[in-house]
Amino acid sequence: MPPRHTFAQVILLGLCVQLSYSEELQSWKKCNGVCVPLNQCKSLVGSYNLVDIGDDVEVSCHHYLEVCCPSENVIPDRAEKNCDNSAIKTFRDCGRRNEDGIGFRITHAKHNETEFGEFPWVVAVMQVEASQVELVAPSSKLLCGGSLIAPNVVLTAAHCAMNRNAETLIIRAGEWDIATKNEVIPYQEQRVERIILHPNFDQELLFSDLALLVLEGNFVADEHIQLICLPPQNKAFYDDSCFTTGWGKVDFSAQSYQTILKRIGVPIVPRQQCETHLRTTHLGPKFRLHDSYICAGGLEGVDTCTGDGGSPLMCPVPGFKNKYYQAGIVAWGIGCGQKD
C-alpha cells in the first residue's frame, strides 16, 4: 500500500504599500501621450490587456507594465485608489487559482512566468539587514518563498528561518515582479513576530523541514492576496498536475534570481521510485528517504532551483476546477532540472 502523508516537504527531481508612482509621470520618446501604469489610464481600467514580457518587443513606454495614455485620461493618484478601505475584499474560499491572472495577461513568457495574481497565497520571505531593522521602510532582499495559510501565518521551510531573528524577516504578499513597483495592485508587507520551527527539524539532514512565521499583523484580503487550503489528515497525493512556484534561479549557472514569479509543473513521484533514483546520485546506494518527504519532479528542464526553498507544492482538489491543496514545501533537490 502506498505511503500516506498528513503534510510533507518536497524533494524536487497588513500594510498597504503606498505606490503613488514616485517618479514623475513622463512622456517616453515613442509615446504621444503619457506613460503610466496600466491602472492609471481611464481608457484601460476595467478592460483586459495583454502585456508582452519578451526582451525584443517594440514598446512605446520605458516599462513593460506602463501604457501610453492620452493626457486627459491619466488617473493621478494610484495609491489612494488601491488603498481605499471601501474596496477591501474578504478572504474567499481557499486555494482558488486565478488562471487568467488579474487585470492583464502576459505573452512571450520565457521561463514559465506566472500570470499576475495567479497563485494569490504565494508570498516572498524577505530578509532585512540588522542595521535597518528599526527603519519604517527598510530595504530587503529575497530569502525564500512561502504560503499564506491564515491572514497572519505563513508556512515555509525551516531551513529558511533557522538561526534568524524574527525582527529581520518581512513577508511580502501579493508580490509578482520583485524588480518593480508598477503592478496593477500593490503588494502588502508584514513583519514577522515569531518563528516556530517543527519540533523534529534536523538542521543537518533537513528532516521535518517546516516552519510557521507568525506575523505582527494581518494581511488585508484582495484579489491577489488569498489563502491556500491545507489537505485533510492522511491525504495521499498521486497527481501529475501539481505546481510549485518561486523567484529562484532558472538553473545553477544563472547569475541571478528570477524577477517575475515562475510556475513549475511537477508530477508526484512514487516513493520507492524516488528512493531508487536518489540512490544513483551522490547520496549513495544506502540512502533512505525520510518519512517527512514526498518527491515531485523528475522532468528534464523543469524544476525548482536555488532560491525556491520554502515555496509551496500545490496539487488540485479533486472535483473542483482551479482549486488547490498545499501538498508540501520545497526543501531540497538534486540539480536543477538536469538529465538523470
> Measured between alpha carbons, how far is 126 from 167 in angstroms, rounded to an integer?
11
Q: Which of 209, 226, 236 is nearest to 330 (CA)?
A: 209
Q: What is the pLDDT of residue 282?
A: 77
pLDDT of 305? 61
Q: Is the dihedral of CA 314, 176, 15, 216 positive or negative?
A: positive
- Count of Cβ atoms closer than 10 Å to residue 292 Cβ: 21
Largest CA-CA distance found in the chain, in angstroms, rounded:
70
> What per-residue confidence (pLDDT) applies to 313?
95
Instruction: Give me the pLDDT at residue 306, please.
Output: 53
Determine the Cα–Cα distance for residues 189 and 175; give it in Å rounded to an integer. 9
Distance, in Å, from the CA atom of 147 to the CA atom of 329, rounded to the nearest integer, reads 9
- Give how far the C-alpha of residue 90 lies from the chain's centroid of Cα atoms, to the nearest Å: 20
> Mean pLDDT by 10-residue block, N- to C-terminus, for the chain (340 residues)?
48 38 44 82 67 65 82 70 54 94 83 93 93 76 96 97 95 94 91 97 89 98 97 84 84 62 90 84 80 74 60 94 95 56
- Coil, strand, or helix at residue 26? strand
Domains, the chain, ranges and CATH? 87-215 (2.40.10.10), 228-332 (2.40.10.10)
3-state SS, one letter per residue, for 131-153: HHCCCCCCCEEEEEEEEEEECCE
Residue 81 grid coordinates: 485608489
- The pLDDT value given to residue 253: 47
Specify the pLDDT at position 62: 75
What pLDDT, on a 0 to 100 scale, did the predictor assign at position 119? 98
**pLDDT on residue 13:** 47
Place of cell 525551516: 158
